Amino acid sequence: MGQGDMSVFRDAVQDCLDYDTESAKKFLKSKQDKRSNDAEVEKFSGLRIRNLVVSPVELSNRLSDIRFVRLPALKNSLIGDTLSGCWASIGVLTEKGEPRTSSTGKTFAIWKMGCLDEKTISVFLFGDAYQKNRDEKAGTVFALFNCSVRKDNSENGFSLSIYSAMHILKMGTSVDYGVCKGKRKDGMACTLVINKRKGIYCSYHKLKKSEQYSVTRTELKGGNLRTAFIDRRKSQGIYVNPAGDRTNLPKSSTAPVKLLSVEGLRKALSNASKVTTNVHSQGIRFLTEVTGKTGSKPIKEASNVPPQPTSKTDSR
């Protein structure tokens, strides 16, 4: 076959090919910029970070030959007053203290850093470490390298000191950084830093809110929010532990099983009006149906329970 003439097809789609190439380039660039601002989960700390300043490859290279220790685990890794070997950690800036002046006239600051678990560690910044990072805002994620450990009387029992800008590296901004929306007893807003992914309140105000709902909502009275909701994945019904698996049963449970004959059941049904006034009771109708079908044949002969001597109750 010879080559076909494509001029007709080209003329037909000419209108579709008429687009602004510059606009298309700008659109592609905006998509790339948006992708670069998407949250990245940092594999060492597990923190979600956006606006990355350091690429994951670069960070992996820097941490490849040293030991990584999560901030909450620093206390357990201390040997005496220091951490052995080369180590690194990653945390979120949760609080910036006001600049201070040391006895030598140098400016420094005390930061609070953590992993958004409502626990923080004090970090002292001196020299160019402070000068380079003094304008950073709360919520910024930093990597710390071989910081000095200093024992103190804080809740953690220690704090970190950074004297060189080489020992602290800005990574980006935490996606889940947030501040509790609750209010303190004095009416002021709670300032505790939280993980927004887990809610809008700190653990204390979560507990207070659950207690508040338990009191105000009648369906939750006598319980709490932890047990107020049904697990929809579990089939509904009554779940009973088999009696055979229980070792603390009372002695009365080991007594012989008492069986009721059909005649005895008929006599019991004759007095059903004393139990309920509902003549259409499903239970009564069911038992009446059973006694009518089985006739005078005792139920115990059809059951799997082994025959036992008739008790005084059966002979009445």
pLDDT at residue number 106: 92
Instruction: Indicate if 191 and 77 belong to the same structural domain.
Output: no
Instruction: Indicate if 94 and 147 belong to the same structural domain.
Output: yes
pLDDT at residue number 259: 73
275-290 per-residue burial string, b: 16 or more CB within 10 A, e: under 16: eeeeeeeeebeebeee
In a domain, 34, yes or no: no
Q: Which of 147, 175, 203 is the endpoint of a domain?
A: 175
Instruction: Indicate if 75 and 98 belong to the same structural domain.
Output: yes
Structure tokens at 26: 């700008």
Q: Which of 220, 247, 279 is the endpoint of a domain?
A: 220
Identify the burial level of 301 via C-beta atoms within 10 angstroms of its C-beta, where 0-12 means exposed, 13-18 middle and 19 or more buried: exposed
120/92 Cα distance (integer angstroms): 9
Instruction: Indicate if 52 and 136 belong to the same structural domain.
Output: yes
Domain count of the chain?
3
In a domain, 149, yes or no: yes
181/193 Cα distance (integer angstroms): 10
In a domain, 185, yes or no: yes
8 A C-beta contact, residue 297 and residue 262: yes
In a domain, 284, yes or no: yes
DSSP designation for 149? E
Instruction: Indicate if 81 and 97 belong to the same structural domain.
Output: yes
8 A C-beta contact, residue 100 and residue 108: yes
Q: Which of 165, 192, 220 is the endpoint of a domain?
A: 220
DSSP β-ladder status, 158-162 and 120-125: parallel
Q: Is 183 helix (H, G, I), strand (E, B) or coil?
A: strand
16/12 Cα distance (integer angstroms): 9
Instruction: Indicate if 76 and 125 belong to the same structural domain.
Output: yes
pLDDT at residue number 192: 94
Instruction: Indicate if 59 and 147 belong to the same structural domain.
Output: yes
CATH number of the domain encompassing residue 118: 2.40.50.140
pLDDT in tens, the chain (316 residues): 555 566 665 665 555 555 455 655 565 565 555 454 567 889 889 999 999 999 889 988 888 888 999 998 888 887 666 777 889 999 999 999 999 999 999 999 999 999 999 999 999 999 999 999 999 999 999 999 999 988 888 888 889 999 999 999 999 999 999 999 999 989 899 999 999 999 999 999 999 888 877 766 555 555 555 555 555 555 444 444 555 555 555 555 555 666 777 777 777 777 776 666 676 677 777 777 767 755 544 444 444 445 555 544 444 4
Instruction: Indicate if 103 and 186 belong to the same structural domain.
Output: no
In a domain, 278, yes or no: yes
Instruction: Indicate if 144 and 187 belong to the same structural domain.
Output: no
DSSP β-ladder status, 100-101 and 168-174: unpaired
In a domain, 19, yes or no: no
Instruction: Indicate if 145 and 105 belong to the same structural domain.
Output: yes
Tell which residue, 94, 96, 95, has the closest CA to residue 134.
Answer: 96
In a domain, 200, yes or no: yes
User: Three-state SS across 283-307?
Assistant: HHHHHHHHHHHHCCCCHHHHCCCCC
Strand-pair partners of 172: 141
* Separation of first and last alpha carbons in the chain: 107
Instruction: Indicate if 72 and 139 belong to the same structural domain.
Output: yes
8 A C-beta contact, residue 150 and residue 158: yes
DSSP β-ladder status, 193-195 and 120-125: unpaired
Strand-pair partners of 110: 124
Owning domain of residue 275: 260-298
In a domain, 6, yes or no: no
Q: Is 180 helix (H, G, I), strand (E, B) or coil?
A: coil
